[in-house]
Amino acid sequence: MRRCILSFALLCGLTTVRAQGIDIGVKVGLSSTQIDHFLNSKSRTGFLGGLFVALKTSDSFAIQPELLFAQSGDKSDLRKIRTDRLSVPIMLKYRIFPAINLIAGPIFNFKLGKKTDLGKGYAAMRDQIAHKEFVLDAGFGLVLNLPLGFHGDLRYTLGLSSALENKGDKSLGFSARDCKSKGWQITVGYSFL
């Protein structure tokens, strides 16, 4: 009997939270990024995943903060650069159709780790390239609401601040202010509420 009452109370609580316009869930997917103006940059694919909370402010608008682990970077024939980041997007959602939302907002990225593999031609650059501790991006895209609490998210990200820093010789072929990341993110999410 005690379990039945507890289950009923939990169900009522979740229904109340849903009625107030709060949505909590998880998302996983892939990101494909590259760094502009950095020695023949090509895109690099990495993992993306974490949690989100959507706070409905009206029938059409919501604010969706997220807490994500994101791998970014780029590659070329002679090097691979990967930066693991704690990514905190604060997306504004606008519902244009019942199943389609537009999203846009800032993305705050904090460095967790890095890995730089340089070929023979770039070995001397290893100590000259620094990964920024904080990078600011902008993101915008679409969210498709699917049945049973699932949704798909396609997002384009554009760097507003540099992802790398040239700590030494300015003749290395790049300027730190131009090394901004850009890329695509595609995720599948599930809403618990």
- Let me know: does 98 contact 145? Beta carbons within 8 Å: yes
Q: How confident is the model at residue 17 (pLDDT cuts 50, 70, 90)?
A: very low
Residue 29 pairs in a beta bridge with 48, 187
Residue 2: pLDDT over 50: yes
Instruction: Map tokens 């869930």 to a residue.
Output: 25
Residue 97: pLDDT over 90: yes
Of the ranges 71-85, 121-135, 167-181, the best mean pLDDT one: 71-85
Q: Does the predicted TM-score (pTM) go above 0.85? A: no
- Let me know: does 138 contact 115? Beta carbons within 8 Å: no
Q: Strand 44-56 relative to strand 22-35: parallel, antiparallel, unpaired?
A: antiparallel
pLDDT in tens, 47-68: 999 999 999 999 899 999 999 9
**191 CB-near residues (< 8 Å, 6+ apart):** 23, 24, 25, 54, 149, 150, 151
Give which of 119, 118, 131 is closest to 167, Cα–Cα: 131
pLDDT value at residue 43:
76
pLDDT value at residue 135:
87
Instruction: Find the range with the poorest average confidence among 77-81, 83-87, 165-169.
Output: 165-169
Q: What's 135's DSSP letter? A: E
Instruction: Please give the domain boundaries of the chain with CATH numbers for all domains.
Output: 21-191 (2.40.160.20)
Average pLDDT over every residue of 70-97: 84
Average pLDDT over every residue of 19-46: 80
pLDDT value at residue 163:
76
**N-to-C CA span, the chain:** 25
User: Rounded to whole angstroms, how far apart are CA atoms 19 and 185?
Assistant: 30
